[in-house]
Structure 1
Amino acid sequence: MIEIELLEKYDAVRKCYKKSEIIFEIDHLATHYYQIISGAVKMNNYNDEGREFIQGIFYANQSFGEPPLFLDRTYPANAEAVEDSELLCISKNNFLKLITENPAISINIIEILAQRLHYKSVMAAEISTHDSEHRLLQLFDYSISYLNFKKDNNGYAIDLTRQQIGNLTGLRVETVIRTIKTLEKKGELKIINRKVYR
């Protein structure tokens, strides 16, 4: 992502958030660019019944919540720390100045936003037209490609809880658990010490 030294040159500030602490809320005006130094952050919404839908989970060296900065719009989701996290925050004006004065960073941001738009398009199609097995495999393959999940002798460890998988795919946790077991029987996944590997 953007080098820490460069962000600090444009007056970025380090902020720490505890697990479950809200970073920003839906419908609030976007005022800052956020980049994760350590920890993890999820962007989420809740339906009228209180069920969570996770728009995305972001990890160290990733940013989140940028689109409203370019549109003068409010955030379409909440941002919440998944674990204790340290972030770099830079004001919208300083962020826009940074990308104007550093064209290579602008290209990098465009690529990241295009990647996320592609993911949203793929997952929207998955949720509306595909069965649970297909949804999980698509999510896992995307996560392996773009979230830098670690590979060991067992394959890629899917570093998501069953609840997070459900909230990312629109499935109930019970369905996620059943589907993972079915995919294991089909040889698509491995389950070792309750951890899912692809």
Structure 2
Amino acid sequence: MTIINLSDKTHIVLKGKELDNNCASLFLESNYNWLDDFIVSFFEKPECSLYGWGPIQTYPPYTVILRQDMPSNAVYYIKTGTVKLMWSDKDGRELIAGLRHKNWFIGAPSVLLNKPYSFTVKTITECKMRCISTNNFLKLISTNFEFTLHLMKMLSQEIYNHGRKIVIFGCIPARDRLKILLRNFISSIENHGDFRNKMKICLPLTHRELAQIIAVTPEHLSRLLKYLEKQNIIKREKDGIILLNLLYFQNSDQ
């Protein structure tokens, strides 16, 4: 049995194979994966430092990058890794607002609007990032038209994805949303060439956060996991989930 600790991986690839169900396909497409050749090449060039981007910094899992309601004094570019966006109320109750992956900018909307950060951003895997101050970022977008155009595309993608997710949660049953979420993790393991008939994944999210991502209560998530366990599809352990029947996650009609 292969044991995969996703917190130790450089990044999680949340991209599954194409599903027959249109709504399920929308669910996969609504993940915040972003690939822009211009942005990738921009950060490979030495001159990006001339605009004020700092060197690549490595952040271990569970490092807070930005804090909710703090002044927006910097923008970060995720070169590799995955972060979670969290919102908390005045009583300290937290809600996970989503995940962001490599090639994404975090903090940019708050900087552009001159408002405090709307979320706390915390790494859930090891992340490599570059940082730029607010002043330098605003100078960059006012002097580099091509960079600004691609930044606008990314921010538009975020709005587009958010609208799709609202519709998605109304047309995909909770059990299928959980199935697709776990399938996403399996896909990332397959891409690393270490695939077995049975494997254990150590998810970098809490039970409550997993429930929030698929828009169910923690209690209902427990019932869904219990159902999968009774069907001998998974086996739960304290530090992860053993996937016993990978074919279940590969098929979209079960």
Scaled by the length of structure 1, what TM-score is found?
0.70
- The answer to whether 1:22 aligns with 2:64 is yes
RMSD after superposition: 3.7
Counterpart selection for 2:105 from 58, 63, 67 = 63
- Give the CA deviation at 1:46: 2.8
Task: Give the distance between the partners of 1:55 and 1:71, measured in 2 at CA.
Answer: 19
Q: What is the number of residues matched between the two proteins?
A: 187
Greater Cα shift, 62-71 or 6-15: 6-15
Partner of residue 80, structure 1: 122
Percent identity, aligned pairs only, is 23
Counterpart selection for 2:149 from 81, 85, 107 = 107
- Give the CA deviation at 1:194: 3.2
Counterpart selection for 2:242 from 185, 194, 197 = 194
- Give the CA deviation at 1:8: 1.8
Counterpart selection for 2:139 from 97, 104, 112 = 97
| Structure 2 gaps, min length 5 | 1-35, 236-240
DSSP-derived class of the 1:119 partner: helix
DSSP-derived class of the 2:98 partner: strand
Partner of residue 88, structure 2: 46
- Change beyond 3 A, Cα 1:136–1:160: farther
Task: Give the distance between the partners of 2:92 and 2:129, measured in 1 at CA.
Answer: 28
- Change beyond 3 A, Cα 1:7–1:53: farther
Scaled by the length of structure 2, what TM-score is found?
0.57
Partner of residue 48, structure 2: 7
- Change beyond 3 A, Cα 1:26–1:161: closer
- Give the CA deviation at 1:7: 3.2
Q: What are the superposed Cα offsets for residues 62-120 of structure 1, whole Å, 9 maximum, x if unpaired?
A: 22221111110111110111123221001122122222332222221112111111222
- Give the CA deviation at 1:49: 6.4
DSSP-derived class of the 1:121 partner: helix
Contact 1:42 1:82 in 2 (8 A): yes
DSSP-derived class of the 1:13 partner: coil
| Structure 1 gaps, min length 5 | none
Partner of residue 165, structure 1: 210
- Change beyond 3 A, Cα 1:23–1:61: same
Task: Give the distance between the partners of 2:229 and 2:48, measured in 1 at CA.
Answer: 44
Which of the pair has the greater relative contact order for Cα pairs under 8 Å at 6+ separation?
2
Q: Which amino acid aligns with 1:61?
A: N
DSSP-derived class of the 1:109 partner: helix
DSSP-derived class of the 2:117 partner: coil
- Change beyond 3 A, Cα 1:89–1:173: same
- Change beyond 3 A, Cα 1:162–1:79: closer
DSSP-derived class of the 2:148 partner: helix
